Structure 1
Amino acid sequence: VAELTRKYDVYFILPEGASYAGDREVLASWRRLLGQNVLELDDLGAVSETIALTVGLGEDAIGLDEGLGDLAELGSTAGASVSKALAKLDRGTLVTAEPLDGLLP
């Protein structure tokens, strides 16, 4: 995990309705590994939107408010759930293109 988090933004998304959703022990274990990058999502149907906006934020390609606006413009009703899940992320780190030794060409 240390090597992954050194080179990449790694997330764990635990949506409502999934196994162990809301389980404080499971969340604490993941937070020890990934810190703020453990996302609790209150809508199982908002996983795709959350991933898409998380990638955009991580690549510094879009801001949270702009991304939420884009979701609404596309007719998505996931905005409130996505906003709640991503609101506490510190965007100080970006995804890097540096490959892990031996895992990527």
Structure 2
Amino acid sequence: MLTFRSLHRHFPDRDLESFRKRAHGLVDLMRRVFPDTPPDILNIGGGFFSNMPQSLWRSRAEPPATFAEYGKAVGSILSKALEGQTRWPTLFLESGTAIVADCQTFYT
């Protein structure tokens, strides 16, 4: 017997809109696959922006999102979708690159 316990959604984009799409996609899939009770785990994937100097992010159309902004974007969607549930899934984040991307300086 096969038992599904988790859902995972991952995109290559780092912007807030990508994370909103991931969260909405997880909610839609969760409602179809787990109609009665949510899964044990929801995994929103990775691709978070890391700390970077202004000189780097100025080349972008908008500044990189902060961890708080990611949390608010994803959290508001998931909390609304899970309202009234007695058990909420654990939310997994794949934040590895965002944590280590600026851990060293390279001089030549």
Both proteins in one fold, TM over 0.5: no
- TM-score under structure 2 length normalisation: 0.27
| Greater strand proportion | 2
- TM-score under structure 1 length normalisation: 0.28
Which protein has the larger Cα radius of gyration, Structure 1 or Structure 2? 2
